[in-house]
Structure 1
């Protein structure tokens, strides 16, 4: 069953890759898969999760264009997360609720990485769905969401004011004149962290997200690359780290 849970996650990871690629482009989900470069129809044996990526050596069998690493990484990540959920919850209702919840977070993260924006309807879906996943009573969960969202809206206002008025004048960079500190999609994800983890663990998760985001930020600063980074992936990473840490501490306590 442990192996099955991993394979279960890997298969869903393959479908998540379809969502990540097609949702922002408004491409039908029932359309057969093809190479985005040469339109080569992908055969069934070229579409086996994990295996096909390695078998094809990360290249299209027709035009030899490199296949994005994301396809392999998302499948592997989904497999490992599903495996961890099975270890903690077995095949219970909580397992399926959290699995679906995490899958949506993965889709949001990778869309944000590529486009630095995410579909509003996915944010609404996962926000509503988070109330079915939390162990907190509805009004307590809603209170946590409002506290987290309210604080970060205020933080966004303060940081954006600094970027647009002080940093802009110091660096003479016209791009900073309209730059926001936090994206609109970050606030719902922050609220969801409060809904699921509560105040104390939620604060730790967001602190971890900030720590995780520092390394690529410093890297971009050194190389003088585009400093605007998607924050949702780091929020999700901090959330997952704290979520499984809390589950483990409860199991071994």
Structure 2
């Protein structure tokens, strides 16, 4: 019974945190303080009641519409909550409700917020990536990653992406990789260590390539002219490695 309670707790905790992540995402994109004002409809400014803030359930009860103005609620809200809930559940299954769970949960939250900001604005906020890199290196003294491997992972990850950025600029004369991705790699490399970089980058590149087909169809341009936010795919590769790294190792990564 206690095991099921722990899993249920982790899922609900993830949903609740996902609701907070939505606030961070929306207010960063809107340039509004995270603390003030209280939760409200971004379209009509209707102040939300407590029951309108229940993750997932409120969206279902309200049928995806604001109770006041009846405008559609962005589907991002339940999506972020569900992603957060299932990732929290995955961490609980993998690590239990110990120190690793809570440390990784913190970084997963940073990656969720950064990813959805990147998807909307093609910007990876320095306020997330740079402090996140420092904290990820500090977390190596807690997580199962030696601090030497963490440091090398940060330097190799960001260094390789910096070289790719500069090389593409020289060859093509245009930016092919954002500086935000280079900074994000500082945090991701520190979080998983240099050993996890090959698998993480492979997963990121594969999922990014698949997603590029959508962006190509949407923008109807060639590959070189199609901007693709790569931060979410780097985050996905990192999360996949943390949750299933042992499985990936069996496949030669």
Normalised to the residue count of structure 2, the TM-score between the two structures is 0.86
Residues 1:13 and 2:18 are matched in the alignment: yes
Paired residues in the alignment total 236
Match of 2:198 in 1: 203
Q: In structure 2, which of residues 122, 145, 157 is the aligned counterpart of residue 148 of structure 1?
A: 157
C-alpha deviation, 1:2, in angstroms: 1.2
Using a 3 Å threshold, how does the CA distance of structure 1 residues 136 and 2 change in structure 2: closer, same or farther?
A: closer
Q: Unaligned stretches of 5+ in structure 2? A: 1-5
CA distance in structure 2 between the aligned counterparts of 1:72 and 1:61, rounded to whole angstroms? 16
C-alpha deviation, 1:59, in angstroms: 1.0
* SS of corresponding position for 1:23: helix
Q: Could you tell me whether the CA contact under 8 Å between 1:45 and 1:52 is conserved in 2?
A: yes
Q: Could you tell me whether the CA contact under 8 Å between 2:215 and 2:228 is conserved in 1?
A: no
- Measured against aligned partners, the alpha-carbon deviations of 1:166-223 in whole angstroms (never above 9, x if no partner) come to xxxxxxxxxxxxx411111101222333223233421111111111111221233244
Residues 1:48 and 2:54 are matched in the alignment: yes
Query: 4+ runs of 1 displaced by more than 4 Å?
Result: 247-250
Residues 1:39 and 2:45 are matched in the alignment: yes
C-alpha deviation, 1:235, in angstroms: 0.5
Match of 1:139 in 2: 148
Q: Unaligned stretches of 5+ in structure 1? A: 165-178
C-alpha deviation, 1:6, in angstroms: 0.5
C-alpha deviation, 1:242, in angstroms: 1.8
| C-alpha RMSD over aligned residues | 1.9
C-alpha deviation, 1:249, in angstroms: 7.1
Normalised to the residue count of structure 1, the TM-score between the two structures is 0.86
